[in-house]
Amino acid sequence: MRRELGMFSALVAMCFALWLSNSDFLGASNVINTTRQVSMLGIFAIGIAFVIITGGIDLSIGSMVGLTGVIIARLTSTSTGGLGYPLWIGIVTALVVACLFGLIQGLLITRLRLQPFIVTLGGMLLLRGVSQTVVEGGVISMGQSPLLSLASGGLLKLGRDPLIPYPFLIFLSVAALGGYVLHFTVLGRYIYAIGGSRDAAEYSGINVKKVETLTYVISAGSAGIAGICYAAYIGQMSQQVGVAYELYAIAAAVLGGCSLRGGEGTIFGIVIGSAIMRVIDNGINMFQYKYSDADGIRRIWRLDPNWNWIIVGAVILAAVILDQLVHIFQAARAVREAGARKAGIAASSSANAEAAKRAETHAG
């Protein structure tokens, strides 16, 4: 847990620095909205973590988030472009589509032995094209759908804003279930074993193909749940919703301690990684530096919003570099420890041989 605690310390320091620069960062409205954003990202970041821990990757998860919302809007909206079906039909249909697509991707990867990167890249483009076709290149409004209360509602109201938004409660539920499955069940142990060594997992009797396929279903299903929350939060759906979301999820997972090599990662780390990504996103808008110019006029310097992708890209690269450095240091330490044990065994054998020789001399 040392890596997770280190990232948590970095998160606290980041929040403190942003609060010093702009006291509105810890304002009730900003904290509640950021909590919603962290929760929605965290839901599908937990899902993709299951895939990453097995050593795979899922690039389609962002497009699945968008398609889920598009399906719900298309089926349930009473506005232009909607079919007006009951809300539960839209939600169930969207989740079934998500899980079925995850199953198809998993089968392609495990049964046909296709590369996860290629399969999910194709899935990402396919799903985005389906979303664009459904909305016909436009926007479908959710209108006055009761689903909107999912994002705006919550527990313990503070004025018009809830202190505990419903997306946060969903996030906690997903995190608790994911943590239980990953850390306290046989399936979780199988997932870590596959990520550690696929061949060793197969030789030990684990049904590797079945477990891997299930992780892609979990990833797609979590994206479906997140898509419901995003549809409620945005209030209108287009093919642009979900674009590049997979990058945030992968970055959150890696920052939280998931190794792209597989075999490592915790749910607690994913929660921290998701919070870091959204705090960075929010901090780009909130950070400000107050200073006086040569004429003594007080001015405020802010980060350029156009830097958003620069910063996100830098964070992803930093996370990958950190992951690689951790493995290099761990490998070097393992070599040193093995050398020390070997030297200790050799010294012990030499001492035993010398003692035996002395005993023989004394007996003679």
Query: Does residue 49 contact residue 249 with C-beta atoms inside 8 Å?
Result: no
The DSSP line for 85-151 is: --HHHHHHHHHHHHHHHHHHHHHHHHHS---HHHHHHHHHHHHHHHHHHHHTTS-EE-TT-TTHHHH
pLDDT at site 219: 96
Rounded to an integer, the average pLDDT of 309-337 is 79
What is the number of other CB atoms lying within 10 angstroms of the CB of residue 169?
14
pLDDT at site 357: 66
pLDDT at site 268: 92
Q: How would residue 364 be classed by pLDDT, with cut points 50, 70 and 90?
A: low
Q: How would residue 228 be classed by pLDDT, with cut points 50, 70 and 90?
A: very high
The partner residues of 363 in beta bridges, in order of sequence, read: none
Q: How would residue 352 be classed by pLDDT, with cut points 50, 70 and 90?
A: low
CA distances from 252 to 197, 243, 285 (A): 24, 16, 19
Q: How would residue 349 be classed by pLDDT, with cut points 50, 70 and 90?
A: low
- The overall average pLDDT reported for the chain is 87
What is the number of other CB atoms lying within 10 angstroms of the CB of residue 306?
8
Answer yes or no: is pLDDT of 313 > 60: yes
For 148-206, how does the pLDDT look when each residue is reduced to its tens digit (9 = 90+)? 888 888 887 766 778 889 999 999 999 999 999 999 999 999 999 999 898 899 999 99
Query: Does residue 220 contact residue 64 with C-beta atoms inside 8 Å?
Result: yes
Task: Give every CB contact of residue 10 below 8 A, 6+ residues apart in sequence.
Answer: 276
Rounded to an integer, the average pLDDT of 17-33 is 87
**% of the chain exceeding 70 in pLDDT:** 91
| Pairwise pLDDT comparison (352 vs 120), residue with the higher score | 120
For 276-298, how does the pLDDT look when each residue is reduced to its tens digit (9 = 90+)? 999 988 888 888 877 776 666 77
Element spanning 218, H or E: helix 208-234
Rounded to an integer, the average pLDDT of 208-212 is 95
Answer yes or no: is pLDDT of 26 > 70: yes
For 66-104, how does the pLDDT look when each residue is reduced to its tens digit (9 = 90+)? 999 999 999 998 877 788 899 999 999 999 999 999 999
Rounded to an integer, the average pLDDT of 238-265 is 88
List the single range of 159-163, 184-188, 324-328, 345-349 with lowest mean pLDDT: 345-349
C-alpha to C-alpha distance for 197 and 286, rounded to whole angstroms: 44
Q: Angle between the 245-255 and 28-53 helix axes, to the nearest 10 degrees?
A: 80
List the single range of 13-22, 32-41, 135-144, 306-315 with lowest mean pLDDT: 306-315
Answer yes or no: is pLDDT of 270 > 90: yes
What is the number of other CB atoms lying within 10 angstroms of the CB of residue 126?
14
Which two structure tokens, joined as six digits, stand for 240? 């642009």
pLDDT at site 1: 63
Element spanning 12, H or E: helix 2-21
What's the pTM value of the predicted model, to 2 decimals?
Answer: 0.87
